Structure 1
């Protein structure tokens, strides 16, 4: 069973998380989600436990428990298609009011578009 673990302390390691869940049974994998640019933890991750009974025991035993000063959130991970998205078909993108083109304009100077010269203004020195 794939388990979501949220509100994790930013300093916790994958090994520490594996030990925490290992008290409830076999842990097949641990994945901490990290910022692509900085490599710092985003404060959540996933633990995979092959035995459903052990995974359920871990969820019940660890949800809302204090770990390094933070109450972690533990529940069964939901597949991407089952998670609610933002409003509309655009994944939460909402155009500004009055924008008929969805917020993307080609008529602004200096940003490309339909103007002569590709919308770029040439500076004379």
Structure 2
């Protein structure tokens, strides 16, 4: 399971987020997506922890907590939906068929 952290301060760094979540258990991964055009943070992050029970405890404890001046949203991350009809396309560029 991956955790979504929303409404993050744009000042939050990966080390800051890991610091908060390591108090609940071992952090496996932390990603802060950047805007493709500007390279700036988008105000959310994803954290994956080693133990799923630790992830759930972090979600329960940190939901709507003020952190770095903002009330963060902490939820189970939902699978990404890429198309308008809600179906995800897992297909790449493909090959040129003649």
TM range (shorter): 0.7 to 0.9
TM-score, normalised relative to structure 2: 0.80
Equivalence for 1:32: 32
Tell which has more relative contact order, 1 or 2 (C-alpha 8 A, sep 6+). 2
Q: Where has structure 1 moved over 2 Å in runs of 4 or more?
A: none
Instruction: Map residues 82-101 of structure 1 onto 2, 5 A cutoff.
Output: 89=85
Instruction: Note if 1:52 corresponds to 2:52.
Output: yes
Equivalence for 1:9: 9
What is the total number of aligned residue pairs between the two structures? 87
TM-score, normalised relative to structure 1: 0.64
Query: For each residue in 1:41-99, what CA deviation from the matched residue of structure 2 results, as whole angstroms up to 9, or x when unmatched?
Result: 10001000121110000001111001111000000001125x9x76xx499xxxxxxxx
Any stretches of 5+ residues in structure 1 without a counterpart? 92-125
**What RMSD in Å do the two structures reach over aligned CA positions?**
2.1
Any stretches of 5+ residues in structure 2 without a counterpart? 88-98
Larger Rg: 1
